[in-house]
Amino acid sequence: MEIRQWVVKGLRAGIVTTPYPAAQETASGVSPGIPCAVSQMSESEGARLVEICPTGAIESENGEVHVDLRRCIHCFRCGWESEVHVGWEKTYEWAQFTPTGKSHAWPKGFSKSLHIRVVDAGDCGACLAEVKQLNNPYYNMHRLGFFLTPTPRNADILLVVGPVTDQMRRPLRETFEAMPTPKLVMAVGSCALTGGVFGPSIFSGSGVGNLLPVDVEVPGAPPPPLAILHGLLVAAGRKDPASGTAASLGCVENQAG
Amino acid sequence: MSSLVETASRAEQNWPGQVHGWVDRRKPVSELRCKGLAVLPSVAKWLVSELNYRLAGIIVEELAQEWEVRYLFYLEQQQGWTHIVVRPPLEVKTLPSITSEVHAADWHEREIEDLFGITFEGHPLLGDFILHNDRWQEAMAPMRRAFDPRAALAERKPDLDWRPRTIVEGPGAFAMPVGPIFSGATEAVHFLLETVGEDVIRAYPRLFFKFRGIEKLAEGKSIDSCLLLAERFSATTAFAHAFAFSQAVESICRTRVPSRAQAQRVFLAELERLRHHMGIIHEICESTALAVATSQAAILEEELLRISGTLTGHRYLFGLAIPGGLAKDLPDFACIQAVEGCQRIVDRLLELDQMLRYSSSFLDRIEDVGIISPEKAREFGLVGPIARASGFADDLRKAQPYSGYERISFDVPVEKEGDGFARLRILVAESVQAVRIMARVPAMLEPGKVRETISPQAGVALGWAEAPRGAVFHWLRLGPDGLVSRFRLITPSFVNWHGFHLAAEKFAFQDFPIILATFGLSVAENDR
Amino acid sequence: MLFLVSVFFVLGGLGVAASVLLPERIAPRIILSVGSIASLIVCVVGAKGLVTEASFVATLWTLPTIGTLTLTVDHLSSLFLVVCGIIYLATSVFSVRYLDRYSGRFSLRLFAVVYHLLWASVVVILLAGDAVLFLIGWEAMSILAYLLVNFQTVRDEDTTAGYLMLGMGEAGFLMVAVAFLLLGNHAGGLDFGSLRAAAPNAGMGLRWGVFLLSFFGFAVKAGLFPVNRWMRGVYAVAPASACALLSGVLLNLGIYGIVRVTGDIAPVPSLGPGLILLIVGTISALVGILYANRENDMKTMLAESSTENMGIVVAGFGAGLVFLAAQLPMLAGIALIASLYHMMNHAIYKSLLFYGAGAVDATTGTRDMDRLGGLIKSQPWIAGFFLVGILSISALPPFNGFVSEWLTLQTLLQSAALAPAGVKVVFAVCGAVLALTAALAVTCFVKAYAMSFLGVPRSNGTKQNGHVHRSMRAAMGFLAALCLISGVLPTYIIPVLNRPVSRLIQSNATPTLVPPFFAPNTGSQPLPPAFVAEFHDLGAQVGRSVLPGPGLVVLHRGGATNPVVFAMSTSYMAVVLALLLGVAALVIYGWVARRTKRVRKPVWAGGLRPLLPELTYTATGFSNPVRVTFNAIFHPTEVEDTSETVARHFRMAIRKSFEEVHVLDRLFYRPIETAAERVAGAFAKMHHGRLNAYVAYVLLSLLAVLLLGRYI
């Protein structure tokens, strides 16, 4: 009786898996989105935005406003500033290779099934929670061949979240050393890329790149599960990374939402 | 209010000449200022044992000429705070420990010793707490104003012979190390499980691998930067922390938050509570390896995240609570839609809960496992759903109401058994209450603005909130330039991790991950 | 043959003389040379007796009113001669260097003298043709074993252990002597021939009495529950070579006694004795392996495991007796072959394991598994040979333990052929319990191997650079090779074992176990062609042109509806295993390793470095689940469960310790002790010191004797 009720429950709940990566996900609430620049912005508006952004993610040059996604912590101060009209795009494909990662030779035949060792190097909890959502029926990364593994010996990808606090430096380094080649390091979240609001300080670093050779970066605070999924697919070579340089993302003119 | 005055006067009577009571009726707070240090433990013991106060935390500030050491106490059923304050000169480095009378002070004193270098006489286990001895030398005191990070780095002398402290003696006793990197995707914490083979005799968690020094980073920052720190250090309950911080700032700057903002703050806090509890239920099902229940709970959690994202733009409610109100006004219809969505989710949660109660394999793993008795919960000063599962009916929304909670009627569920099943029942019951509160808010929304400008001024205040994990306290002191001079964070995870070992001991190894899951603690919130 | 035997005895005398006269430091060499030659001679004698029909009868002296002492050999004694000879040979080689650690502290001269005399007495027991010589040899063996074992006693409890062995041995001896005398009284003579002839005419009461007395008397020597109380203390203190002799030779003498009296001389035509043997054997096996799981000292663990294996041997033998009494000689033959096979295998692998324990003790100075670890790196050869012993005793194919234990369990499964339902139930239950002991044995020996050889050294004090001499490794290697051979070639050993068994069951059991797949149409019982074809399809004829003998498959045929009751072939298994391992090794080392780069990294411990030894599993922890599951048998009482607290809340130390009283003591010996003390206490009341009462006692006893004399 007990087993049967669970089977019925599971069958009745149906399939809720996202169509991504075959098609784009259109449900709302799956991504916090990114600020995208309206192509022509006055110098004062640009200066205002640069002033507002607490991490210096917004840079302005001749009215052309660039957003360095690696620094964006999704505080929305630029979006809710009433004087400046900032576009907002609900995308989630943000992952990119680092310059060293681009030339990373990933053996053929490795892309079908990858095992991931997740290391929490001081993360606030949100990035780790989003990584954990990857196993839920909505995103279900198992269908794409990604698995979490408890031992670095079986791992192909080292997924690091957090700015790398001082007391996690050695365990993180140990994990990286314990993984056999070929291996990939993926830094997820703005803290892991640039240290977020916590670093650099004596106790907290400014990103994984200072300790390990990072290959794939997924910006966001936190990057939603779809962004992390895109990052994994980029790492596996099954999806293209976000186009454009890391520093700027041109986007379709869009009203703030 | 009258009890505060009474407390102050009785204290002056009991220790004439040594304790001076002072009441601030506005807040309301009563301060028991102790002239000498020796009387400190007895006053603390008197408050806790005879008057049934509970300790919220200890705050140490390095002022110009002296220390200010403030012990925060409050009553569960009455508004108001009683602080014990001592002001020894800066040369004094030793204070008497109150741990043997008020055991809830244990970890607070250890933290102060590590970060400020003040020794607590009578505390047997100081050292190697926040700053691990295999990374940093003793006596670093990074929270002192004169701390020089460069010098500390240059003189860095880790203890290379560091060994974990094992206390179980007996034939064949050994210790199983777990972590700091273990399982699939868990936070970084190290457990030392001492055993003779089957049962865990002692479970000691070694935390603070994720220590980022938030309190030190906050010094000298503007209110807005400090808000970011307060919101982001533990992002799974980001809104509750931003909420408490904003209330502290509003209290200092004497800002009156618009009623629409107050109601929406309550709404969002309860939404966060609902989503957080769903996440814990998901983890409990996952730890017991009941696959279908795990998937169903995960579906509900993701739906709540999407509702949060649709309503506010961010799945974890970042960037909403700011001093003065809310950064963004939520339209009424959106709130009503969100309530309807949450109501449907809670209905499915109740269905799931009913099925779980009939799965004997699930109950076997959760019932009578990881028990914390009410006496221990009180002794260790536990907070939140864990304390409520052990019969400790303590909720800041009722005890020290804020932001309009006093106008909303809701229940605070309490259970007595203190085992994993009781904690699960509390989580489900609180989720039901959370939706009940959310349902009342749209009717309370008056048209108007949601944001009041604040004018920073010097002052000191305590802001608090009942976060999903328990009582959270933000103590803030602003300098004359409006910048932060001291920011103290007392988090529910810090208090509850202290009591975690009570639940994990005397149970088998296989029960350990389940007990860990039923606690639902956050390491990031503890480590700061 | 008689010539060889006399040469053996002469050699023994020479060995004793040389040990006494030559300097002490040569004593181990004497053991090696004389002992190994003597063992070889015995092996040849035994082999001849087993394989050919050669026999002899030699009469020695005639004692008045007791009878003539004769030496004779038949198949049964030949088998035991071969087994004991092998063990003695290996021990002689092992001891020459192992005893170096005792030189200077204890008298090697004494050891050598006792060694040679003990071997002589064992051969006397095995060759005895009449009860008197048997008993003389038995007594000599008991005393010499005590001397051998008490060789290096320093502490009081070790000497008590030796006394206990001697005392219980004497009690057993008395029971056996009474049994022989009872039967001899009925038969009118004490030689085995007349005893054998007179037994069928004796009444059932006498036959049962002889069986019970002799069984429990020999059970003391064989180490069965509940009379194996002496084993624990003795094994802990004896040197490793003496332990190997204890397990490999002396315990087998108990089995020899049981088989000789209950199987050959005075069998009882009833289901009872077989069932008693089966039940006692099963209980011994279970209790033995449970306590082996709890032991952290390698030698006592192996001692408890010897109880388990002897239990299996006796259980198999009992099943065989039941089948015999139920007129099923073929099944009885299988059971008896399995039992004797297990006896032989146990001797080999137990000695191997004891040598390993001795080598470990010699190199690290400790036998406590809670403090060992990581020896596989410093002692790879010892680790390898020990592993062969572990695999054999855990009954894993293709080693010898698998064959004998598998055959024993298979015979217990044949209970369907028996008629009475109660007997079937007993068989089923005993079969289940023996399967449980097999599983517990795997647990126990995995722990033994892993805790001693794998992992990290758990205590810094064990010096791990001791040198193990070639001779010790050679002895271990020889026995390891025997383990493999007797596991891989069971179809050659079964016909050899069949010879003593066929005498006991009065028919030929080989064809029921080893069908002649190599020559299916010849011989007395040709196989049906369809059957042969099916097995030839499976490959049962592979090796036909190369190897002699009937075949390589052990198979028991049933009737038309059940053509194959059980079948296996460790020979083919070994070939397939070797092929698989070879192919895998080729692929990995020849191809994969060339294309990848191998790097050595430290062990992964969750990011916590270094992994300290105190953070790894201890032997006690590993076996704790067994203790918790079988709590009713172990019945630990908590001695200490305290925690030292400071400042009311801070625990500084938690102390937990248990006391466990062995189930034997709890159920048997402690109650007997208390009862005896109470009786003695009651009698002590007579000693109150009053002279008048004592005089009265004398008067009363005088009166009683007079009255007795009057009426008898």
State whether the Cα torsion C536-C539-C545-C549 is positive or negative: negative
Helix-then-strand count for chain C, H and E = 30, 6
**Chain B residues touching residue A27 (CB < 8 angstroms):** 306
Residue B381 forms contact with C (CB below 8 Å): no
Rounded CA Rg of chain A? 19
Residue C598 forms contact with A (CB below 8 Å): no
**Chain B residues touching residue C617 (CB < 8 angstroms):** 174, 176
CA distance A159 to chain C (A): 15
Cβ–Cβ under 8 Å, residues B469 and B496: yes
- Cβ contact, residue pair C655, B170, below 8 Å: yes
For chain A, percent of residues with pLDDT exceeding 90: 33
pLDDT in tens, C537-546: 777 777 777 7
User: Mean pLDDT throughout C15-29?
Assistant: 80
What pLDDT shows up at residue A81? 65
**Chain C residues touching residue A175 (CB < 8 angstroms):** 607
- Cβ contact, residue pair A10, B209, below 8 Å: no
Place of tokens 């192992």: C98
Mean pLDDT for chain C overall = 85
Per DSSP, helices labelled H in chain A are: 2-13, 43-52, 99-102, 126-133, 169-178, 190-194, 225-236
What pLDDT shows up at residue C522? 65
What pLDDT shows up at residue C100? 78
Query: Using the 8-state DSSP alphabet, how is residue B258 labeled?
Result: P
Task: Note which residues in 544-563 of chain C have CB less than 8 A from chain A.
Answer: none
Residue pairs spanning B and C at CB distance below 8 A: 99
What pLDDT shows up at residue A250? 43
- Cβ contact, residue pair B318, A5, below 8 Å: no
- Cβ contact, residue pair A28, B306, below 8 Å: yes
Instruction: Nearest chain B residue to A172 by CA: give it.
Output: B181
What pLDDT shows up at residue A43? 74
DSSP states along C281-347? HHHHHHHHHHHHHH--BHHHHHHHHHHHHHHHHHHHHHHHHHHHHTT-HHHHHHHHHHHHHHHHHHH
Per DSSP, helices labelled H in B15-143 are: 40-45, 106-116
- pLDDT higher than 70, residue C281: yes
Residue B168 forms contact with C (CB below 8 Å): yes
Instruction: Give CA angle at B109 (B105, B110), nearest 5°.
Output: 120
Residue C459 forms contact with B (CB below 8 Å): no
Taking the C-alpha atoms of residue B313 and residue B304, their distance in angstroms, rounded to an integer, is 13
Across the interface, of B103, B164, B198, the residue whose CB is closest to C624 is B198
**Chain B residues touching residue C293 (CB < 8 angstroms):** none
Token digits for B223? 């209110």
- pLDDT higher than 90, residue C385: yes
In this prediction, residue A40 has a pLDDT band, given cuts at 50, 70 and 90, of low
User: Mean pLDDT throughout A115-127?
Assistant: 92
What's this model's pTM, rounded to 2 decimal places?
A: 0.85
- Cβ contact, residue pair C607, A175, below 8 Å: yes
- pLDDT higher than 90, residue C431: yes
- pLDDT higher than 70, residue C523: no
Neighbours of chain C (3+ CB pairs under 8 A): A, B
What pLDDT shows up at residue C102? 75
**Chain C residues touching residue B122 (CB < 8 angstroms):** 647
- Cβ contact, residue pair B196, C656, below 8 Å: yes
Instruction: Nearest chain A residue to C603 by CA: give it.
Output: A178
CA distance A180 to chain C (A): 8
Residue A29 forms contact with B (CB below 8 Å): yes
- pLDDT higher than 60, residue A55: yes
- pLDDT higher than 50, residue A247: no
- Cβ contact, residue pair C601, A177, below 8 Å: yes
**Chain A residues touching residue C607 (CB < 8 angstroms):** 170-172, 174-175
What pLDDT shows up at residue C114? 87
User: Mean pLDDT throughout C368-383?
Assistant: 84
What pLDDT shows up at residue C551? 76
- Cβ contact, residue pair C607, A180, below 8 Å: no
What pLDDT shows up at residue A1? 56
What pLDDT shows up at residue A255? 36
Other residues' Cβ atoms within 10 Å of the Cβ of residue C583: 10
Taking the C-alpha atoms of residue C224 and residue C238, their distance in angstroms, rounded to an integer, is 20
Across the interface, of A151, A170, A181, the residue whose CB is closest to C604 is A151
Q: Which region among C255-264, C391-400, C454-463, C555-564 has the lowest average model confidence (pLDDT)? A: C454-463
Instruction: Nearest chain A residue to B280 by CA: give it.
Output: A129
Q: What is the mean pLDDT of each run of 10 residues along chain B (528 residues)?
A: 79 83 81 85 87 89 89 82 89 88 90 90 86 82 86 81 82 85 88 84 90 91 92 93 94 90 93 95 92 92 94 91 90 92 94 89 88 89 91 86 88 90 94 93 87 88 92 92 91 92 85 90 91
Neighbours of chain B (3+ CB pairs under 8 A): A, C
- Buried b / exposed e along B493-523 (16+ C-beta atoms within 10 A): bbbbbbbbbbbbbebeeebbbbbbbbbbbbb
Name residues whose C-beta falls within 8 Å of residue C46's C-beta, 6 or more positions apart in sequence: C77, C78, C79, C80, C81, C82, C83, C85
Mutate to test the interface with B, among C456, C611, C618 (most CBs of B within 10 A): C618
Instruction: Nearest chain C residue to A117 by CA: give it.
Output: C606
What pLDDT shows up at residue A226? 93
> Between the CA atoms of B242, B246, B247 and B251, what dihedral angle is there, to the nearest 10 degrees?
160
What pLDDT shows up at residue B27? 73
In this prediction, residue C600 has a pLDDT band, given cuts at 50, 70 and 90, of confident
pLDDT in tens, A127-171: 999 999 999 999 999 999 999 999 999 999 999 999 999 899 999
- pLDDT higher than 80, residue C170: yes
Cα B201 from chain centroid (whole Å): 27
For chain C, percent of residues with pLDDT exceeding 90: 27
In this prediction, residue C50 has a pLDDT band, given cuts at 50, 70 and 90, of confident
In this prediction, residue A63 has a pLDDT band, given cuts at 50, 70 and 90, of low
pLDDT in tens, C83-125: 999 999 999 888 888 887 777 777 788 888 888 889 999 999 9
Cis peptide leading into A222, omega within 30 of 0?
yes
What pLDDT shows up at residue A83? 67
Highest mean pLDDT, choosing among A196-205, C20-29, C609-618: A196-205
ipTM of the complex: 0.90
Mutate to test the interface with B, among A89, A118, A124, A254 (most CBs of B within 10 A): A124
Residue A150 forms contact with C (CB below 8 Å): no
Name residues whose C-beta falls within 8 Å of residue A138's C-beta, 6 or more positions apart in sequence: A16, A17, A18, A225, B298, B299, B302
Task: Note which residues in 293-352 of chain B have CB less than 8 A from chain C.
Answer: none
